[in-house]
Amino acid sequence: MRLKAGGQVPSALDVPEFSEEQALQLSREYAAKYEADFIRNPDFNFEKYKNEQAQGPGEEVNVLSAMPDQDPNNWDDAYWDRLRQIDFKSSAVSFMDNHASSLGWQAGQQFPLALWDESTSEAPAKKPKVEETPETQQQGETSAQPSLPMPTSTAPKVVFYGDYLWPAEAKRQGGFLTPADSLALSRNPPITAYTLRTHLNRNSLKLHPETFFTSAHETFGAAAKEAADKAAKLGGQFDPVVYMVHATPNMFKVGKEVVVAGGITWPQVMAWTQVPRDYSLPEEAVTRKQELHEHFEKAYKARPVHLLEKNPDYDAKFDQYTATAEEQPQLLGSRRPMGELLKFMKEHGAAVGFQEGFPLFKPPKVITGQASAAGKDVEPAPHEEGVVEEVWNFIKGHAVAIALLPAVAALNLIPGLGEIADAAEFAALSTEAVESTGLVLEGTSAIEGGTVAVEDGTVAVEDGTVAVEDGTVAVGEGTSAVGEGSSAVEDTATAKDVTTGNQGADIAQPEEELNLPDVPTHEPGASVEEQLDNLPDVPTHEIEFSEKVPSDKIAVQAD
């Protein structure tokens, strides 16, 4: 696989609509596969339990929709009483004895399981079994069994961000806002601005691609290409900038992309460098790990003194933070996108000053793309005279190393910040960082893919398409939901409430009015992607849908 000369891997997403006919077929297949040995319970109370989750022992028999016994009389109170008499640990051990031999579990073994780093080839040696005595039993109850250290978190600590704003503009604005923030200054943003699905589909949407998310990257090349693309949309008459930014918990990974919720504040910017407006990813393929190591080593030896300009306004308080390590599938397919995003920001936005709503910070004046492009002649240049030419020659002369340069290794290219002693050490760190984050595999040179897969409540990104697997499929009145990927909405708060809640004061209007209609038009039965592509407008508040499943519809749980 080669690096794309014309740009990054396309991030347009194609989500197939899950039809009612497909849902019915899934129901039939599910019944054939899993209900062959079950008989239906005629006393099952659907209306009472349709919104309930798993029930514990002791519930009345009509909670069971089907029973794995040909004689329902066996499922009486006495059956549940027998289960209640077995303690939880004994039940768990019995389950492991019957089902966990593939994990190395042996009959009679006790908890906890040993933990070890999966990167090693062997599991830790088992300790000899000690015969239990009253003394050892008491000791086991009062002290926890030690385990090996868990692997180090892969949450990014430093990222790259590409933008059309030059440093003086970004500082004056207070940082980098999201695309939806400018829209929110003039009128209420559509509810689609709060969902991660819109952000991941932004390059393919004709209407309202703006969201309260923006993108960062772990490699320099991906950020530089994005910066060049942004500049090109504004006429391509100026050279954009790549910023090195300290990660904060309002960031999280979706595959190889780092998603930033809310925006980036100026004090968390560590450094920057200007890149050519025509920057593109190199075509040269990296086929061996040693070859990648050599690219990094040569680049380090030839590096210019001022490849990255240090930001004097950087606040060291950000040194303690990393991005959030956990995936955030609820932001991709929640039925309450506004509520879920606000909840996420309340839990993870303190480091960047989030309070109640958007925008993340109050800028004295929002600098639109058009205003930025028109004012470049009077803005201070990102570098001193003579530095830009030296930097660009270096970027072009070491195209592969710069394209794959990981942000964590680039810290060592900033005078006073790095701790690397020589080129070999830098090359080793860079190669290891690229491999460990999955940005490139040996035999390939792929940078920053763009696929989203939603599976069992997780989000993984790999090739530019969205696949929804495993989850609840509900086909009923007013909704067409597919598992966790559903984007039906039901919040009652308006977008205006959210965008003004953080400041409590009016914000200066942008230089040009964004004349977008406000009238909500929503077809409940259509998929989210179809609504975004075809509707003349989208609602500015979340729409409530009934949870009730009509009697002529079927709700099933995919296996």
pLDDT of residue 101: 64
| Helix residue ranges per DSSP H, 201-353 | 220-233, 289-301, 330-333, 337-348
Could you tell me how many residues make up the chain? 559
Q: Is the pLDDT of residue 122 over 60?
A: no
What does the angle CA 316 – CA 321 – CA 322 come to, to the nearest 5 degrees? 135
pLDDT, residue 271, reads 94
Residue 35, token pair as written in the block: 């209900």
CB atoms within 10 A of CB 498: 24
Q: Which domains does the chain have, with CATH numbers?
A: 158-437 (3.90.210.10)
Q: Is the pLDDT of residue 153 over 80?
A: no
Q: How high is the mean pLDDT of the chain?
A: 69
* Per-residue confidence (pLDDT) for residue 369, from 0 to 100: 87
Residue pair 453/462 in contact (Cβ under 8 Å)? The answer is yes
In this prediction, residue 307 carries a pLDDT of: 87
State the pLDDT at residue 389: 87
Q: What is the pLDDT of residue 150?
A: 33
According to the per-residue pLDDT averaged within each range, which of 13-27, 97-111, 441-455, 462-476 is highest? 97-111
- In which region does residue 262 sit, left (phi positive, over 0), alpha (psi from -120 to 50) or beta (all else)? left
Check residue 219 and report its DSSP letter.
Answer: B
Residue appearing with tokens 């942000």: 407
Task: Give the integer Cα–Cα distance in Å for 109 and 92.
Answer: 11
Lowest mean pLDDT among 126-130, 265-269, 275-279, 387-391: 126-130
Highest mean pLDDT among 35-44, 107-116, 307-316: 307-316
Helix (H) or strand (E) holding 472: strand 472-476
pLDDT at 12: 43
Q: Could you give the percent of the chain with pLDDT greater than 70?
A: 52
Q: How confident is the model at residue 318 (pLDDT cuts 50, 70, 90)?
A: very high
In 3D space, the residue among 345, 329, 389 whose CA is nearest the CA of residue 499 turns out to be 345
> What is the largest distance, in Å, between two alpha-carbon atoms of the chain?
88
At 38, the amino acid letter reads F
pLDDT tens digits along 367-413: 888 889 988 888 888 888 888 888 899 998 999 989 999 988 888 88
Rounded Cα gap, residues 388 and 391, in angstroms: 5
- Nearest to 69, CA basis, from 37, 91, 98: 37
The pLDDT value recorded for residue 221 is 94
* Selection from 244-253, 323-332, 361-370 with the highest mean pLDDT: 244-253
Q: CA-to-CA distance for 424 and 502, rounded, in angstroms?
A: 48
Of the two residues 181 and 140, the one the predictor is more confident about is 181
Asked whether 405 and 219 are in contact (CB, 8 A), the reply is yes
For residue 111, what pLDDT is reported? 63
How confident is the model over 89-95, as a mean pLDDT? 73
Q: At what angle do helices 423-436 and 289-301 cross, to 10 degrees?
A: 130
pLDDT level of residue 224 (50, 70, 90 thresholds): very high
How sure is the predictor about 78, in pLDDT bands with cuts at 50, 70 and 90?
low
Residue 165 is encoded by which pair of tokens? 């704003």
Confidence of residue 72 (pLDDT cuts 50, 70, 90): low
